[in-house]
Structure 1
């Protein structure tokens, strides 16, 4: 049985900064798979903890969606906030709910998956590919073909049938749409996940970007990272090394300026992958400068967007212990005396200019790099300022970085979304002259006409985050911008 496609308008895809006014993005609201993560498998599925799904949806992610809509597609929510309180099981943020907001600016990737599954050829190929990856029986493959596209999309993502039977593992990390790909000017870089738990996620993403009509004009601008062509001949001990593996996740890639790309080498992204991306974007003349940032391979950091993100043209939030001016916090950190190696020693920054790749420029620290980006890539004339995780106080810098104090999504220059549990970081924003306001209070201001997305400036918006923070990803992780001014 086949249903009609959900109307999603085609529009330009272009991102050339982290702070230009956000116009369109991909998200994925928490699905039923998150409620099936069990403690014994949580870390294998890349979750640090189990979550209360209803609370995550109803009390937290719901505010995220309403904020995004108010900024990107206000007609969907203006005057309706009080009427859009979700039920205990589902809310207006889920694509299969009768009250779903159905925006073509805030787009749930589940909608795009359901759309392409209306094509019988794509449907057959994708079911076969996923059943092959998950090693299911042939009868299961046949059974999946009987579901309508909207339900099949939910099954392929959540791993479970409508009757709650689990066929295969859920994809709890699919809420972090940043990791599946990144827009670099008018090109799209697809990820290559490091962990087996995200293999199905990457396959679904591939099918969506290469087959959905939204991306029809960009299919020849999709960049996929090649593997080492002889990797299959190497011993397992060698294929596990950074020099031969091509693994990359979008949290390690930032389109930071019109012609400047940042790539992190981290727990999830290898040097080999970073080199391949640099080669391809230079060959395609997408950017002129690539800066590779090597951070410690620690679960605490995972991606560069857990260490720093941009707030406005001349303001950044970052982790002090990996920065130059984090020295005072390090001195107060008792662990610094037991493990005297400075974590910033594990930080290495090399900048490559197109045509001069053999002569990389070494940059000493993050502040110097970010100052240079603000001034020379973005034309900032005001003094460059840094806001540090936990206000650079021990032990709050590390504690709050763990709950994504440095992982912020800019809705426009100077207006960012973060988590409400990071009190010291919020204090640092206040001291820097920012208005710090809860998502609920801001939406109330909008509804009363006391403020608007067009007039708001220098604001740190706090999302409720008791459950969202357990997933180890912030608002930056939960967004894949497709279009920015």
Structure 2
């Protein structure tokens, strides 16, 4: 197993500080095994074409991350990487030609390294076999499997001979959901759906057992279930304690946002607030309650930050429908069915007196102006340029789910045309990733000096998996913002 690196650091205190290290998971063979009858159970709306995702879409994401986070792995080597042999193996975990970056960190590699420890391997195999209902004979076979091969089996559900022994975990490409870095702590998720239980287990083992995170083991926060939850009625009690990383945003050094959504319950948010306050991680937490709908899913599917004074958001979330006492519908429908979005801020110093924001846009303005001390007025870029029906259409294909590599430089899908127009109107340059990579390779563009740019990424297949680049990233190290 890799030795502990004394220079390894975990620290994220904004959504937009210069990204230095993140956890990712490249699309694996399990993605290519999603079947229509199980797609929704496995949280997919569609079945995707694996080769296109790997070689024609996600590979550009890895290349771009390398130029910004680990240029020595790619600068001057692009032609070799783009050759038939390089293109196949540069992105393939466990392959000798895999990039093996220590900044763009592949979860499958961490898993295989950790599994080299026999004691940990036995425990994790037993745990996985328990939740998957495997026979004892299969458990013994897996215990004796090569660690690299075993890591692949755990993720894809498939043996080397292509026989499936349990379901894949195709959502592992959305690494954001397994946990969130909050300052120098990591808050682990507690998934809402059974499909994500195994990936949560794997990540828990990695964070607690891989040498990389050894000095941070006391900084890993786990959400407990509410007291005596097992006595609550029903299989899926309304008291369930769930929290997923897409609903957690580290917006400033002392401030975390938590979304209550289809995937994160009020009990999950409540337990997270207690953990964060009790461990002195932050001073304030704002809970944003969004409608519990599949098309919204997580907080980061309806807004993300672009610069300290700039956000991209779905307008219907930014401004909830106003209550009109003269409309009979307000009395005929229950309040929560009106799809109102609320923002309630709790402070450690005075938790019993929360602050209510008029709407989400007011919250974002407060973060920009007061938390991040922006010198400029807050700008809001709306999904679909705030035009019906493009606002909802483009939010569904992740127009609001952007990853900031540095302040003002963000990655998004190339298919959201009206949102791209809104970025241009807000003064952003828009560049295709294929052109940018060539310019970074030739030296025409410098990653360090690039500013105010929306980088368009190919998205025909990736967008069908329902998640953008914010979802596909778990930042563990960002620079502090320079004021």
TM-score bin (small chain) = over 0.9
CA distance in 2, matches of 1:86, 1:258: 43
CA distance in 1, matches of 2:124, 2:284: 37
- Look up the match of 1:377: 371
TM-score normalised over the length of structure 1 = 0.93
Superimposed CA distance per residue, residues 379-418 of structure 1 (whole angstroms, 9 cap, x where no aligned partner): 1011110110011111100000000000000000000001
Once the two structures are TM-superposed, the CA of residue 343 in structure 1 deviates from its matched residue by 8.0
Does the residue aligned with 2:469 lie in a helix, a strand or coil?
coil
- Look up the match of 1:122: 120
Question: Relative to structure 1, is the Cα distance of residues 86 and 180 closer, same or farther in structure 2, using a 3 angstrom cutoff?
Answer: farther
Once the two structures are TM-superposed, the CA of residue 374 in structure 1 deviates from its matched residue by 0.4
CA distance in 1, matches of 2:164, 2:220: 33
CA distance in 2, matches of 1:452, 1:16: 25
Superimposed CA distance per residue, residues 248-268 of structure 1 (whole angstroms, 9 cap, x where no aligned partner): 100000010000000000000
- Look up the match of 2:190: 192
Once the two structures are TM-superposed, the CA of residue 8 in structure 1 deviates from its matched residue by 7.2
Residue 69 (structure 2) pairs with residue 75 (structure 1)? no
Residue 355 (structure 2) pairs with residue 361 (structure 1)? yes
Question: Relative to structure 1, is the Cα distance of residues 381 and 459 closer, same or farther in structure 2, using a 3 angstrom cutoff?
Answer: same
- Look up the match of 1:283: 278
Superimposed CA distance per residue, residues 237-285 of structure 1 (whole angstroms, 9 cap, x where no aligned partner): 6x520xx211110000001000000000000000001011101111111
Once the two structures are TM-superposed, the CA of residue 340 in structure 1 deviates from its matched residue by 13
Question: Relative to structure 1, is the Cα distance of residues 86 and 373 closer, same or farther in structure 2, using a 3 angstrom cutoff?
Answer: farther
Which residue among 266, 274, 285 is the counterpart of 1:271?
A: 266
- Look up the match of 1:415: 409
Unaligned runs of 5+ in 2: 323-332
Residue 56 (structure 2) pairs with residue 59 (structure 1)? yes
- Look up the match of 2:16: 19
CA distance in 2, matches of 1:71, 1:5: 24
Which aligned pairs between 1:222-301 and structure 2 lie closer than 5 A?
Answer: 222-236=220-234, 240-241=237-238, 244-301=239-296
CA distance in 2, matches of 1:10, 1:419: 34
Does the residue aligned with 1:317 lie in a helix, a strand or coil?
strand
Residue 112 (structure 2) pairs with residue 102 (structure 1)? no
Question: Relative to structure 1, is the Cα distance of residues 11 and 326 closer, same or farther in structure 2, using a 3 angstrom cutoff?
Answer: farther
Query: Do the aligned residues in 2 keep the contact of 1:159 with 1:171 (CA within 8 Å)?
Result: yes
Question: Relative to structure 1, is the Cα distance of residues 210 and 85 closer, same or farther in structure 2, using a 3 angstrom cutoff?
Answer: same
Does the residue aligned with 1:387 lie in a helix, a strand or coil?
strand
CA distance in 1, matches of 2:109, 2:312: 33
Question: Larger deviation: 317-326 or 430-439?
Answer: 317-326
Superimposed CA distance per residue, residues 175-204 of structure 1 (whole angstroms, 9 cap, x where no aligned partner): 000000001101110000000011101100
Does the residue aligned with 2:61 lie in a helix, a strand or coil?
helix
Once the two structures are TM-superposed, the CA of residue 86 in structure 1 deviates from its matched residue by 6.6
Query: Do the aligned residues in 2 keep the contact of 1:326 with 1:392 (CA within 8 Å)?
Result: no
Question: Relative to structure 1, is the Cα distance of residues 401 and 30 closer, same or farther in structure 2, using a 3 angstrom cutoff?
Answer: same
Does the residue aligned with 1:236 lie in a helix, a strand or coil?
coil
Question: Relative to structure 1, is the Cα distance of residues 314 and 326 closer, same or farther in structure 2, using a 3 angstrom cutoff?
Answer: farther
Does the residue aligned with 2:30 lie in a helix, a strand or coil?
helix
- Look up the match of 2:326: none
Residue 167 (structure 2) pairs with residue 169 (structure 1)? yes
- Look up the match of 2:308: 313
CA distance in 2, matches of 1:346, 1:86: 51
Query: Do the aligned residues in 1 keep the contact of 2:15 with 2:404 (CA within 8 Å)?
Result: yes
TM-score normalised over the length of structure 2 = 0.94
Which aligned pairs between 1:315-354 and structure 2 lie closer than 5 A?
Answer: 315-324=310-319, 345-354=339-348
Residue 454 (structure 2) pairs with residue 456 (structure 1)? no
Which residue among 38, 41, 63 is the counterpart of 1:41?
A: 38
Once the two structures are TM-superposed, the CA of residue 320 in structure 1 deviates from its matched residue by 1.1
CA distance in 2, matches of 1:410, 1:375: 19
Superimposed CA distance per residue, residues 137-179 of structure 1 (whole angstroms, 9 cap, x where no aligned partner): 1111111123211111000010001111000000000000000
CA distance in 2, matches of 1:441, 1:285: 45
Residue 37 (structure 2) pairs with residue 29 (structure 1)? no
CA distance in 1, matches of 2:308, 2:2: 40
Superimposed CA distance per residue, residues 48-67 of structure 1 (whole angstroms, 9 cap, x where no aligned partner): 11010000000000000001
Query: Do the aligned residues in 1 keep the contact of 2:3 with 2:211 (CA within 8 Å)?
Result: no
Which residue among 405, 420, 428 is the counterpart of 1:426?
A: 420
Q: CA RMSD in A?
A: 1.9
CA distance in 1, matches of 2:277, 2:337: 31
Query: Do the aligned residues in 1 keep the contact of 2:320 with 2:339 (CA within 8 Å)?
Result: no
Query: Do the aligned residues in 2 keep the contact of 1:85 with 1:91 (CA within 8 Å)?
Result: no
Question: Relative to structure 1, is the Cα distance of residues 201 and 86 closer, same or farther in structure 2, using a 3 angstrom cutoff?
Answer: farther
Query: Do the aligned residues in 2 keep the contact of 1:5 with 1:114 (CA within 8 Å)?
Result: no
Query: Do the aligned residues in 1 keep the contact of 2:3 with 2:212 (CA within 8 Å)?
Result: no
- Look up the match of 1:92: 90
Unaligned runs of 5+ in 1: 328-338
